[in-house]
Amino acid sequence: EITDHVVLRLRNKVIDLCLLCYEQFVDPADKDGFSTEQIEFSYSVQASAGQVSSDLRALFLREFEFAASPLLRSFALTDDGKLLSGYVRYFRSKEVELRENERKDKEDQNAVMNLVLPIGRSLAYNWTHGNRREAGIVLSHLTGSGQECSTMVSALSRLMKRAEPVRLLEAHMTTLTGMFQAWMENEPEEIESDSPTDEEMAAFEEAEQKHQEQFQALELLASRFSQSLGVGKLDPKLSPALVGFTREGVRFAFENESEWALGSRLSFLNVLGKYVGWVRRNREHREIIRVELEKREATMKAHPEFGEVHSDDVACLTAFRQALGLKASEIMIQQVPETPATDANDEAMADSLTELPSRASVGSSRITRGSLASGRYSAEDRTERSASLASSRITRDHGDQSCEDSLSDSRYTRRESLASSRYTRGESPEASIASSKYTRGESIASRASASRPSLDESPGDSAEGSRFSGGSPTGSIDRGTSLASSKFTDGESLVERESGSPDDNATERSG
């Protein structure tokens, strides 16, 4: 092997210079001991080192190590770990500038060209033997960093797919699992005080909102990754690789670490579900995933802490199986014993219904770790929320019933008033007016009886109750006495009259 060559000596000196530039890094969280000029100098030399490092990696390709020429093999830059780690640290410190482009009306194109382009060029030239973690850093900016950055990362993704599609899938998994792990570790800290101030509650709720938005951004990124694999037809190399990809995602979701509760990672299946459309098309591949799921489920069921798995985490697994076209898992079904009804429980329920909480008590809810992915709440919050919603439903139901009764009474009163105001030709207006007057507190039954006077009733009664007492021996009815004395056409009954004939409708309008 050739170890001493003028090109090699020059290359090694440039690498040493770049490493010295990366050593000028200033931690953004600890800038107090540095002046503004020192910080600007630090960023400037690291940006220049990043561009030079990109050129070095583009000129001295890793593929040269497989060349037949000994000289060309010696030119291969295989030990580039320090260059890569130095630039990634600088990239992370300036990453916020890329994210700000999403909210700006005019994007900062210099941030994209100075940060994304150098590392993108290095990946494009060496992707056949490229670093998946390095690719994940760039691919994570496919969404959430503005249109300019999204366009550049999309172009890089297409190039990587043509060169080595299976390695691209591996980069997808590395990106998604890394971001999911960061999301879990970024959970807002609970408020320790029993009586927190308004400022503490506002800060906590804001942190929870950002945490939930972080997971939604992860789901969006997974959806864009899946779409970048193709439309309709899939690359023949990717079809079997997607099975391994899905199995790896399932393994990660069921894998448990000591510091997290059992099943805390099951919400990752919501992210992995963006890819299952490709697996579902092939029955053989779907069967492989089914077997893998049941194996993982059986292992989790045998765990001594299985009873503590959150029900919403199990719901993520159920939704994932449905997306695959599989039936619900019988292994994960938990039998929850029902609490027997007692007098104490009945009294507690009665007390909870008596003391109805205000609407303000439902306004805020605290979201627990692991449940933010699907908007889940803790047990206490679910109880309070259920009681509040139940009380509001009871109040609303009572209000609706009262409203229905009022409307029913008003409709009945209006109907009876219109019916009693009809009178035929020759009927005295006084009698009709008398029959149409009802007191506000009169019952529906009395109005019904008032609107249908008997044949024994006679004129001369007071208009207060619209009841007619007395009667003629012959059973004849005086004209102008009541609604029952109205003249109808031959063969027309009172029921037909009330059903609304054309003449009757005209009389009603005139009334």
The label of the residue with tokens 């149409």 reads 436
Cβ atoms 267, 214 nearer than 8 A:
no
Q: What is the mean pLDDT of residues 46-58?
A: 95
Residues 6+ apart with CB under 8 A from 133: 174, 178
- What rounded mean pLDDT belongs to the chain? 74
Return the percent helix, strand and coil in the chain, to nearest 5: 65, 0, 35
Cα 85 to Cα 134: distance, rounded to the nearest angstrom:
9
In which band, very low, low, confident or very high, does the pLDDT at 1 lie, cut at 50, 70 and 90?
Answer: confident
Residue with tokens 């190590």: 65
Closest CA to 368 of 496, 133, 190, 510: 190
Q: Does residue 288 contact residue 243 with C-beta atoms inside 8 Å?
A: yes
pLDDT at 239: 87
Burial of 357 (0-12, 13-18, 19+ CB in 10 A): middle
Q: Which of 1-5, 111-115, 256-260, 366-370 shows the lowest per-residue confidence on average (mean pLDDT)?
A: 366-370
**Predicted pLDDT at 331:** 73
**93-102, 270-279, 399-408: range with lowest mean pLDDT:** 399-408
The answer to whether residues 144 and 219 touch, using CB atoms and an 8 Å cutoff, is no
Indicate if the pLDDT at residue 51 is higher than 90.
Answer: yes
pLDDT band at 147 (very low <50, low <70, confident <90, very high): very high
pLDDT band at residue 222 using 50, 70 and 90 as cut-offs: very high
On whether the pTM is more than 0.85, the answer is: no
Would you state the structure tokens that stand for residue 221, as one six-digit string?
């990124």
The whole-number average pLDDT for the span 362-387 is 43
Residue 89 has pLDDT above 80, yes or no: yes
Provide mean pLDDT across the span 166-179: 94
**pLDDT of residue 401 exceeding 60:** no
Pair 232, 265: CB distance under 8 Å: no
Please give the structure tokens belonging to residue 110. Answer: 């210099």
Sorted by sequence, the CB contacts under 8 Å of residue 1 that are 6+ apart come out as 70, 73, 74
489 close to 459: Cβ distance less than 8 angstroms: no
Q: How far is CA 81 from the centre of its chain?
A: 40
Mean pLDDT of 136-163: 94
pLDDT grade for 306, boundaries at 50, 70 and 90? confident
Rounded to whole angstroms, how far apart are CA atoms 135 and 125? 12
pLDDT of residue 485: 40
C-alpha 280 chain-centroid distance? 24
Q: pLDDT grade, residue 194 (50/70/90)?
A: confident
Helix (H, G, I), strand (E, B) or coil at 386: helix
Nearest by Cα to 365 from 384, 392, 341: 384
Ranked by mean pLDDT, which of 11-25, 101-115, 198-212 comes out on top? 11-25
pLDDT above 70 coverage of the chain, percent: 64
Residue 342 has pLDDT above 60, yes or no: no
CA distance 145 to 196: 36
**Per-residue pLDDT tens over the stretch 467-494:** 334 444 344 334 443 433 444 344 444 3
Place of tokens 């030399």: 45
The residue behind tokens 């830059």 is 77
What per-residue confidence (pLDDT) applies to 334? Answer: 52
Q: Which residue, among 151, 145, 152, has the nearest Cα to 94 in the 3D structure?
A: 145
Residue whose C-alpha is closest to residue 360's, from 155, 198, 131, 141: 198
Structure-model confidence comparison of residues 379 and 124, the more confident one = 124
Of 150, 280, 299, 278, which Cα lies nearest the Cα of 220? 150
Averaged over 329-351, what is the pLDDT? 49
Residues listed for the chain: 511
Report domain extents, the chain.
1-163, 204-333+365-377, 401-510
- The predicted pLDDT at position 75 comes to 93
pLDDT of residue 309: 85
In the block, which residue shows the tokens 């020192």? Answer: 38
Question: Is a pLDDT exceeding 90 seen at residue 16?
Answer: yes
DSSP for residue 66? G
Q: Which of 300, 305, 319 is nearest to 374 (CA)?
A: 319
pLDDT (mean) for 76-102: 92
Read off φ and ψ for residue 109, nearest 5 degrees.
-70, -25
**With 50 as the cut, is the pLDDT of residue 439 above it?**
no
